[in-house]
Amino acid sequence: MAKLAVRPGAVIDGFTIGECVHNGGMATLWSVTRSDLSVPLLMKIPRVSEGEDPAAIVGFEMEQMILPRLSGPHVPACFAAGDFLRHAYVVIEVIPGKTLYSRLADLPLPYEEAAAIAGKVAAALADLHRQNVIHHDIKPSSIMFRPSGEAVLIDYGLSHHNQLPDLLQEEFRIPYGTAPYMAPERLLGVRDEPRSDLFSLGVLLYFFTTGVRPFGESETMAGMRRRLWRDPHPPRKWRADYPPWLQEIVLRCLEIEPVWRYPTASQLAFELAHPDQIKLTARSERLQRDPLSTVWRRRFNGNVTQSKGKSDLAAQLASGPIVAVAIDTTEQSRELNEALRVTAERILATLPSARLACLSVLKLGRITIDRTLDDEGNNKHVDRLVALRHWASPLKLDESRLTVHVLEAVDPGSAILEFAAANHVDHIVIGARQNSIRRRLLGSVSAKVASEAVCSVTVVRPPQLASLQEPATAEEPEGAALRAPGSAQGAVR
């Protein structure tokens, strides 16, 4: 590689070098400009002088491979990359503001604020995992926020891409990462486990809500290896008012075995957004660490997940989707609701880690004042919640996999779409109404959802519609993937 002369005013592949904005241990950051790009830019250049850590160079190679393949609001946009044959660099957009590291002086944060931050980071991880990347260095200095509120994950030198060579694993036999945040399986050489990122986020949430790191500041390998068998003190040890729902989330993220953590980052984000519906277990009440008998059994049985060959990241994420079923709780919809339940049961039977969200929309009038009680004096919202639980009871799902939600909105279709987008829903199941003058004039809710949703949609027909075998209309698009008795698949994306 040619020696790179980096100084203000120099031009590298069309980029004019400005000032040095950060002088890090592995790389330097320079402001740069290019005539055809109007956005603020940064050029990241690795340190390659005598005595530099070879892992830093390999990590930069990983970042060069991964960054150009990423897109979306949760990653910095990459505009160019230079290889080591000439000039090694990557050019990325400037994310305004500071990293989450700047909040350390404010710890511990209020519980709701810390949970909201963690929810945004979980959403960013869900998006990253869907792009086949595991970050492997989630910590405060790797997290920023756009002015619009989305979390942005930076620094991909330690990341793993499921479809690219993992140079760090191929060339080194020691784990690289930030010691306080590393998941136990990382110490065993496992780098293709997406739930490692959830462990790191759990460490961050524990730290930001207690002001104490769950595993201390140990940087030695011996100190880090203790987390293979030793769990942290429950957060309630440090703060007596720690919310049970939040301790449930934190300790589930920090489970030693990945299989006991959340199946996906999307499901973690869902829990953080709906704390009132979290199923509390013994984790939420814990005041002490696990007994020494459990610790010794873990230590000598060696039952922490070992690498069993390359995993299929996409298949792992697909096994734990969030499925939303839109249900009309009125008596007239009994046949359709039964068909919806049959369809949902078939979907869930093949996805043992899936979460089911049952939705009902309480329609509001556009100009009228809506009453909260019905003619018999019962609260409409509460009645809908009870009806949704009743609908779901034959499915016999564990409470940790089921939530019910009553949405109040003027436009039911828009309400369902907004819920799906905000909660990273993977699949919507919704019923198709029978033909009516109103549907022909105004269009149907299912047609709106099927045509505008960014996830898969299954439109279920009530039995009388299915038996008529009507051709699909413009309002009710037709598909053919999933079918149940009295149902039809529609608008699969």
Q: How many CB atoms lie within 10 A of CB 473?
A: 14
- State residue 295's pLDDT score: 83
The answer to whether residues 134 and 269 belong to one domain is yes
pLDDT of residue 475: 39
476 located within any domain: no
Q: What CA–CA distance (Å, rounded) separates 62 from 157?
A: 6
Residue 315, CA distances (Å) to 318, 344, 351 in order: 5, 20, 11
Tell me the pLDDT tens digit for each residue of 132-183: 999 999 999 999 999 999 999 999 999 999 999 988 888 887 788 899 999 9
**Residue 488 is assigned to a structural domain of this protein:** no
Q: Between helices 111-130 and 244-253, what is the axis angle to 10°?
A: 30
Residue 190 belongs to some domain of the structure? yes
The predicted pLDDT at position 225 comes to 85
Q: Are residues 55 and 81 in the same domain?
A: yes
The angle subtended at Cα 287 by Cα 286 and Cα 292, nearest 5°, is 90
pLDDT at 267: 97
**In 232-278, which ranges are E strands?**
none
Q: Residue 45 and residue 93: Cα distance in Å, rounded?
A: 14
Say if residue 127 is in the same domain as residue 274: yes
Interacting residues of 265 by C-beta distance below 8 A, sequence separation 6+: 122, 123, 125, 126, 129, 194, 197, 198, 201
Residue 376 structural domain? 320-468
159 in the same domain as 19: no
Q: Which two tokens stand for residue 424?
A: 């990273």
297 and 176 within one domain: yes
Number of domains in the chain: 3
The domain spanning residue 68 has which CATH number? Answer: 3.30.200.20
Check whether residue 236 and residue 265 sit in a common domain: yes
Amino acid at 123: A
What CATH number has the domain bearing residue 362?
3.40.50.620
pLDDT confidence of residue 9: 92
Q: What are the b/e assignments for 302-315, b being 16+ CB within 10 Å?
A: eebbeeeeeeebee
- For the chain, which residues score pLDDT lower than 70? 1-5, 49-52, 218, 302-311, 331-332, 365-377, 433-443, 463-493
Do 182 and 281 reside in the same domain of the chain? yes
Distance from C-alpha of 202 to C-alpha of 207, rounded to nearest angstrom: 9
Q: What is the pTM of this model?
A: 0.86
- d(Cα 229, Cα 299) in Å, to the nearest integer? 5
pLDDT at 106: 97
**126 and 253 part of one domain:** yes
The length of the chain is 493
Asked if the structure places residue 485 within a domain, the reply is no
CATH number at residue 278: 1.10.510.10
Confidence (pLDDT) at 489: 43
In a domain, 351, yes or no: yes
Whether 270 and 181 map to the same domain: the answer is yes
pLDDT the model gives residue 479:
36
Residue 201 and residue 268 in contact, taking contact as beta carbons nearer than 8 Å: yes
Are 202 and 168 contained in the same domain?
yes
In this structure, the answer to whether residues 140 and 241 fall within a common structural domain is yes
